[in-house]
Amino acid sequence: MHRQMEDHRSSAFPAFTRSILSRLPHIVHQTKGEAFVFPATGSAMWEAALVNTMNPGSRLLAPRFGQFSHLFIQTARALGHTVDVIEEPWGEVADPAKIEAALAADTNHEIQGVLLVHNETATGVTTNVAAVRAAMDRAKHPALLLVDGVSSIASLDFRFDDWRVDCAITGSQKGFMLPAGLGILYMSEQALARVEQCTMPRAYFDLRAMRTNNAQGYFPSTPALSLLYGLDEALTMLLDEGMEQVAARHRFLATGVRAAVNAWGLRECAKRPDIASDSLTAVVVPDGHDARKVIDIAFSRYDIALGSGLSELAGKVFRIGHLGDMNALTLTAALGGVEMALVDAGIHVTLGSGVGAALTCWRTPGK
């Protein structure tokens, strides 16, 4: 990213644009449809997906099981849509059976889209998107499937084609290992077919102008070049490693973190092991303790940034991210910092216990 900015209107620019846009789909195993990049954030892509596919006042369906599924719903409502919400306890994931039931009950096919968060950053759980798609199929419902992949895409396995996702949403600052500032949107052919006739008023996020310009190798407004240079390099790194290997690496690291939490005698926010996220772990502090104290101590004394509990989880959990440019040793450092902060906050753990459990997972004698 430390390069001189080039002229984004020059005759040499389209080759760069195409290199980005042609490789983005490989990250999610997409072979049909298109990928788009905006100077924006992941949450802006919620809006971009909605304004290009949903007419004003549409009816949508969404399970809510954490702060980011909540915000996705709020975005849709702010844009004037009606959202039928399926509430789940935070720490759980979307329930395909309930989605199937809700869609089956919508015999007039009023529901235009299902809003789904793949990996709920607030609670550290991963929804089974394939199961949700299967539920939609069983209900024989034509709603589009809009998936937030902010903390999964480029880290966890994401099968755009296989799961028949219609809109997949992410940003630059998680799996792509970049600063924030780019929103990335994947659209299926079905979703693209809606763009032209969609009557939602829109300008900046209008994919019509974007597609016209992208087709020539340009962007409708000035692109965020320094971040695009970073994205170009991130794509090379990720695709050189291979997306299966990227997902395996996140699973490998997550296993160690979960072993550490277990060794500390604490429990995860994720209610079941099979839904625990491989990209971050939310840890519940014992009753009578405030997770914010752990987070403050970790930050001020040990220079570790832990995620805080959001909304109804405030004070109850802290979150350890393990996605992006990390390895066993950077996580060892993080776990060591967490251990000291826990003890300082009055939560008894044996110093070294979590790290030792993680190292036992991460030791790779056969490598």
**Residue 311: exposed, middle, or buried by beta-carbon count in 10 A (0-12, 13-18, 19+)?**
exposed
CB 29 within 8 A of CB 168: no
Q: Which of 1/86 has CB closer to its own copies?
A: 1
Place of tokens 């290199």: 19
Minimum gap (Å) between residue 43 Cβ and its own copies: 4
Report which of 162, 228, 316 is spatially closest to residue 18, judged by C-alpha positions. 228
Minimum gap (Å) between residue 303 Cβ and its own copies: 7
Q: Which of 63/223 has CB closer to its own copies?
A: 223
**∠ CA 230-9-236, rounded to 5°:** 25
**∠ CA 223-166-273, rounded to 5°:** 105
Minimum gap (Å) between residue 55 Cβ and its own copies: 12
Minimum gap (Å) between residue 179 Cβ and its own copies: 4
Q: Which of 50/139 has CB closer to its own copies?
A: 50
CB 348 within 8 A of CB 266: no
Structure tokens belonging to residue 163: 């799961």
Q: Which of 5/107 has CB closer to its own copies?
A: 5
Q: Which of 89/201 has CB closer to its own copies?
A: 201
Euclidean distance between CA atoms 96 and 143, whole angstroms: 14
Q: Which of 105/350 has CB closer to its own copies?
A: 350
In Å, how far are 94, 247, 273 from 89, measured between CA atoms?
10, 27, 16
Minimum gap (Å) between residue 119 Cβ and its own copies: 15
Minimum gap (Å) between residue 315 Cβ and its own copies: 14
Sign of CA dihedral 14, 19, 25, 27: negative
